Homo-oligomer: A and B are copies of this chain.
């Protein structure tokens, strides 16, 4: 059996009250900025708090009030795009009393359920779920329990807010850019999807839709060519190899995410090819590594930082006003042309 904690006893509100010569209710009111305390009282309590180094126990507070905690569920710590989002969230929370705590859902519905339950059981005040793969019903259930904002999921639920970029339009920007350079055989690497709900909501599916639509709009419908793998570097690598093995290989590849494009560049290097000399390569996300000089990836900037700031703002609003109607924010992407795209040979 685990042994009891032997940590030093922390200062409690009872000791602060005794030290200040007031009730625990008074101390609590002062700390919560609650109505009904005089300036003198506030001053006395604050002096006692400082003198004793008192900090409230967030877990004790949870039984009646708030823990002042915002939980963020990441799909994966490796994709630098999520780091951009986190920077935005952290920046927005910096001037508040909220503490940001993160954990990973691992792109797996069972794992996501375990993680969101863990955050709820710890009485987190609100959750930001990034690119969750769980069913819409499950997400609704979460949002019914705790204020929730979802990023990277084109849902129109009435129960939670969403923040996304316009993935459909963003994909169109890439195709327009490549077509503008003269490319006609423009291929796409998508995340393989079969689930109908995911096909309607996930960013990768909308990017593939945007690609198809833009290709037809540029009169290139007959050149539509999609390799279905995964949004990982390995998925990019495999996708590129599949596309290069075609009877009529593409002259340009639009990878649905920057990490996928990195895998494409890997595969080109192995095949003794280069971008854009042999094949143009474009990604999506504008992760910080995309600007790395040796890579210099053409991509779409979906402003991860701005997404994070916006999501955090919506969540704090929803914590304050839980029944507020859902907001679904769609940000406008911008193309970022760098060194991996050029005219076809």
Give the oligomeric copy count: 2
Give A292 to B234 CA distance when docked, in angstroms: 11
- The residues in A between 257 and 313 inclusive whose CB is less than 8 angstroms from any CB of B are 262, 265-266, 269-270, 288-289, 292-295
Interface check A176, CB cutoff 8 A: no
Q: Residue of B at shortest CB range from A86?
A: B77
The answer to whether A319 touches B2, judged by C-beta atoms less than 8 angstroms apart, is yes
Contacting pair B100 A322 (CB below 8 A)? no
- For A289, give the chain B residue with the smallest CB separation: B289
Q: Does A217 contact B (CB under 8 A)?
A: no
Interface set, chain A 58-72, CB cutoff 8 A to B? 58-60, 62-63, 66-67, 69, 71
A215 to chain B, nearest CB (A): 28
Number of A interface residues in the complex (CB < 8 A): 61
Min CB distance, A264 to chain B, in Å? Answer: 11
Cross-chain contact A320 with B2 (CB below 8 angstroms) = yes
Alpha-carbon distance A343/B67, docked complex (angstroms): 59
Q: Which residues of chain B have C-beta atoms less than 8 A from A3's C-beta?
A: 320-322
Tell me if A145 is interfacial: C-beta within 8 Å of chain B: yes
* Bound form: Cα–Cα A99–B71 in Å: 13
Taking the complex as formed, is A194 at the interface, i.e. its CB lies under 8 A from any CB of chain B? no
CB distance from A198 to the nearest CB of B (A): 25
- Assembled-state Cα–Cα distance A292/B323 (Å): 48
B77–A123 CB distance below 8 A: no
Residues of B within 8 A of A86 (CB): 77, 104
Residues of B within 8 A of A67 (CB): 59, 122
Compute how far the CA of A66 lies from the CA of B115 in the bound complex, rounded to whole angstroms: 18
Q: A220-243: which have CB < 8 Å to B?
A: 233
Q: How far is the CA of A58 from the CA of B58 in the complex (A)?
A: 12
What residues of chain B lie closer than 8 Å to A245, measured between beta carbons?
Answer: none
Binds B, one of A4-12, A128-136, A204-212, A326-334: A4-12
Asked if A101 is an interface residue, CB under 8 A from chain B, the answer is yes
A59 touches B63 (CB 8 A): yes
Instruction: For the complex formed, measure the closest distance between the CB of A28 and the CB atoms of chain B, giving whole angstroms.
Output: 14
Question: Is residue A144 contacting chain B, with contact meaning CB distance below 8 A?
Answer: yes
Which residue of B55, B90, B115, B293 contacts A269 across the interface (Cβ within 8 Å)?
B293
Neighbouring B residues of A233 by C-beta, 8 Å? 292
Chain B nearest CB from A322 CB (Å) reads: 5
* CB-defined contacts of A262 to chain B, threshold 8 Å: 292
A-B contact pairs, 8 of them (CB 8 A): A2-B319, A3-B321, A7-B144, A7-B145, A58-B122, A77-B86, A86-B104, A122-B122
